């Protein structure tokens, strides 16, 4: 791929509806949150969070890359669903974000009655993040999704691509 092709591909991502939605939501998140400070995190993210069922053909990784690299957001956490998903995201974003597996969150929830350290670590990571991108959440585990919504104080984007 030559330089012109790379530029055209980059423009296609920037102009893609997914990238446009992410830019708009992330750009307006703080104002939206300030309008609804009366809502706890869980209720806010249930009502106003961005949860998208994304067609497999859409440029999810490329759009995430654009948002992370071109926004004023400095603390991003990506929650991934599998080792394959992690590898794809890491190959693109490298160490520009923190990573967490939904399995880690689920395990922390299960261990909470005997050892709260794991939950505290997850909660701190999600509380500190300005942007949390949850890729391919396990939709059958509503408690897990609610836990993420509850801990997220920053902008939460959930991108459900279906099976990989």
120-150 pLDDT, tens digit each: 999 999 999 999 999 989 878 889 999 999 9
Q: What's the predicted TM-score (pTM) here? A: 0.86
**Is pLDDT larger for residue 41 or for residue 87?**
41
Check: CB of residue 25 under 8 Å from CB of residue 155: yes
CATH of domain 3-160: 3.40.50
Whole-number mean pLDDT of the chain? 87
Answer yes or no: are the C-beta atoms of 9 and 1 closer than 8 Å.
yes
* pLDDT (tens digit per residue) in 28-73: 999 999 999 999 999 999 999 999 999 988 999 999 999 998 888 8
């Amino acid at each position: 791929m030559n330089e012109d092709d790379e530029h055209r591909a980059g423009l296609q991502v920037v102009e893609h509806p997914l990238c446009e939605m992410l830019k708009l939501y992330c750009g307006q998140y703080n104002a939206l949150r300030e309008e609804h400070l009366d809502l706890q995190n869980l209720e806010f993210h249930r009502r106003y969070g961005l949860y998208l069922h994304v067609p497999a053909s859409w440029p999810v990784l490329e759009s995430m890359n654009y948002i992370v690299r071109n926004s004023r957001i400095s603390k991003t956490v990506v929650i991934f669903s599998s080792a394959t998903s992690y590898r794809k995201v890491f190959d693109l974003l490298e160490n520009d974000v923190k990573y967490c597996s939904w399995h880690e969150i689920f395990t922390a929830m299960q261990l909470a009655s005997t050892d709260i350290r794991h939950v505290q670590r997850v909660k701190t990571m999600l509380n500190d993040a300005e942007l949390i991108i949850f890729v391919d959440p396990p939709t059958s585990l509503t408690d897990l999704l609610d836990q993420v919504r509850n801990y997220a104080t920053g902008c939460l984007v959930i991108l459900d691509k279906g099976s990989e």
